[in-house]
A and B are shown apart, each in its own frame.
Chain A
Amino acid sequence: MTLSTATLPSRSLRFNPGLKRNRTDRLFTAIAALFSLIAVLPLVLVLIYVLIQGGKLISISLFTQLPPAPGLEGGGIANAIIGTFLVTLVGSMIAIPVGVGGGIYLAEYARRGWFSQFIRLGNDILAGVPSIICGVFVYSAIVATRLFFGQSYTAMAGGIALAVLMLPTVIKTTDEALKLVPQELSWGAIGVGASKFVTITRITLPSAFTPMATGVVLAIARAAGETAPLIFTALFSPFWPEGLFNPIASMSVLIFNFAIMPYEAQNALAWAASFVLVILILGANLLARWIRRFTSS
């Protein structure tokens, strides 16, 4: 009995680039390549313009002086840089403990059950709440009621608005990171007589540290660039920061305010602030990426 393959024309097995389906294949690959090019183009263009336009103004005075009055030249964005750090710090100080605690509950005490599912769903919904609504909420709850020493707009309120924004990310990353820790580790700890509290704080949390740190760094980076929750909570101030219970400048609000002013000096400062902000945020992102790579190897 002979094999029937002998009767097949052998060229049918050879790759024929001229076939219709192979031509369509190349066409689609080209389209996908074009789409990818279009997708990375905005990043390249934005970075180029921010680096060129913002880089022009980088000098010592940018980091040491206050912004000029409308119509005047020179000045810097020192108060906005400090303000961004302060407000983001307040936000992190609230969101990280609350988020890590909530994440511990979800992952360690109640993986299943209606309450934890309800909290997880709530967390996902909170993550989807538009940032401007966070601002409106904090305005109505804290600014309009003058909760802090009768002050209306405060850096504290801005920090709280950012915390509301960061909270879902911190909870989610903690929850997922803790779930990845092998159960055997905590069983071992409990087996040698450690209490649940000691097991979580000494064994589980340290093993989940890197993915948590990655998520938290990304959340902080995102919060530092947020504008919408700050425009009517922390407001803006052309002066040096006067503590946490006064309005405070921030780079993002400065960019927004100065971009729509009809003065070139202000527009230039908006570009310079974008430069500083983008460098900081991309730096934080690369740091998070590095932390991740550091552990996976």
Chain B
Amino acid sequence: MRSETGQDQFTLRRRPWSERSIDGGFRLLTILLASLVAVVLLGIFLTVFNGAQEAMASFGLSFLVTSGWNPVNNQYGAFTAIYGTLVSSLLALFIAVPLGVGTAIFITENLIPRTWREVIGVMVELLAAIPSVVLGLWAIFVMEPLLRPFLNFLHQSLGWFPLFSTVPKGPGMAPAILILVVMILPIITAISRDALNQVPQELRQGAYGVGSTRWIAIFNVILPAAISSIIGGVMLALGRAMGETMAVTMIIGNSMNFSWSLLAPGNTISAMLANQFGEADGIQVSALLYAALILMLMTFAVNILAQWIVRRFSLSYN
């Protein structure tokens, strides 16, 4: 069919060579840049794994369960640091989860005016922006002295209990746990808040419609609907807590002597790396990289588990 205007022909020209090569080149460039992520990740893993070979050969798996760390005799066991990493992050999580989820509920569930909710939300987000080294400085000079009378009281009244069996003398596991709480609280709050905000309004209306009070609705309807994302967020926070370095290094005391007591100085893998890696040589470097490998595997596992939980258990409302 011919049109009357006479403009009847499309010019189906081949795109010029220059245009096609720019297009193809750009695509190739972005592929290359995207692959860099995999390259860097692989590089990190291989570097740490390679460096750890020597220590893995000479200490084997007993590295994980022995607690001597002696650069003079070149005898290394990372149990103190592994125990410290796990205990500090798990206890911090134990304290931070109720606080973070409680705060998230408080600022999503219409309990106070919108302005106040936003103010609290912004403040928690800004807390996440404070550099960890500044929190460490604050922990050394402000928090720890404030905390000490309370820790002394714990020791005096519950000193028979292994966790409180030593006299608090400054840096130690307990202040490190508290500073970790401060660091992971914003993550838990932010992710829980997003999760609660995504719960469809109909669920709330339904719950209130059948006569539940606000908190009955929260505990029986809203929290269960948001729980998978919240747990995912908690796992991410756990990963962050295990890898957190500066604030912990500054306040944990960096002792390689194992102690059950939370009031005694301890160590974590990342704190140990921060303290010793720069000055280590010989097999100590390898032992430190072995510990770094363990830390990396632990955070990998936690992060992948977090994503799996979010994907596997997320409810969709369509």
Contact B213 A232 (CB under 8 A): no
Considering only residues 82-103 of chain B, those with a C-beta below 8 Å from chain A are 98-100, 102-103
Segment of B65-73, B151-159, B241-249, B258-266 in the binding face: B241-249
Contact B299 A277 (CB under 8 A): no
Shortest CB distance B168–A (Å): 19
Q: Which residues of A contact B300 (CB under 8 A)?
A: 125, 128
Contact A225 B132 (CB under 8 A): yes
Shortest CB distance B130–A (Å): 6
Interface secondary structure of A, over-half rule: helix
Which of B37, B236, B250 has most chain A Cβ within 10 Å?
Answer: B37
User: Does chain B have a CB within 8 A of A61?
Assistant: no
Q: Which residues of B contact A32 (CB under 8 A)?
A: 102-103, 105-106, 111
Contact B132 A227 (CB under 8 A): yes
Chain B contact residues (Cβ within 8 angstroms of A): what range?
35 or more
Q: Which residues of A contact B245 (CB under 8 A)?
A: 130-132, 227-228
A-B residue pair count with CB separations less than 8 angstroms: 258
With A123-B37, A256-B133 as given contacts, are A21 and B273 in contact (CB-CB < 8 Å)?
no
Segment of A37-45, A66-74, A180-188, A206-214 in the binding face: A37-45
Segment of B1-9, B18-26, B197-205 in the binding face: B18-26
Q: Which residues of B contact A50 (CB under 8 A)?
A: 134, 138
User: Does chain A have a CB within 8 A of B210?
Assistant: no
Chain A contact residues (Cβ within 8 angstroms of B): what range?
35 or more
Contact B48 A133 (CB under 8 A): yes
Q: Which residues of B contact A256 (CB under 8 A)?
A: 133, 136, 246, 249-250
Q: Which residues of A contact B287 (CB under 8 A)?
A: none
Q: Which residues of B contact A270 (CB under 8 A)?
A: 137
User: Does chain A have a CB within 8 A of B147?
Assistant: no
Identify 16 new A-B residue pairs, CB closer than 8 A, beyond the known A53-B141, A132-B243, A195-B23.
A29-B111, A35-B103, A40-B123, A40-B124, A43-B127, A98-B36, A102-B36, A104-B30, A116-B34, A129-B299, A130-B299, A131-B245, A136-B292, A137-B44, A227-B246, A274-B137
Q: List 18 A-B contacts (CB under 8 A).
A: A28-B218, A29-B214, A39-B185, A39-B189, A40-B120, A43-B124, A50-B138, A101-B30, A102-B34, A109-B30, A129-B44, A130-B242, A130-B243, A131-B243, A225-B133, A228-B274, A232-B277, A277-B134
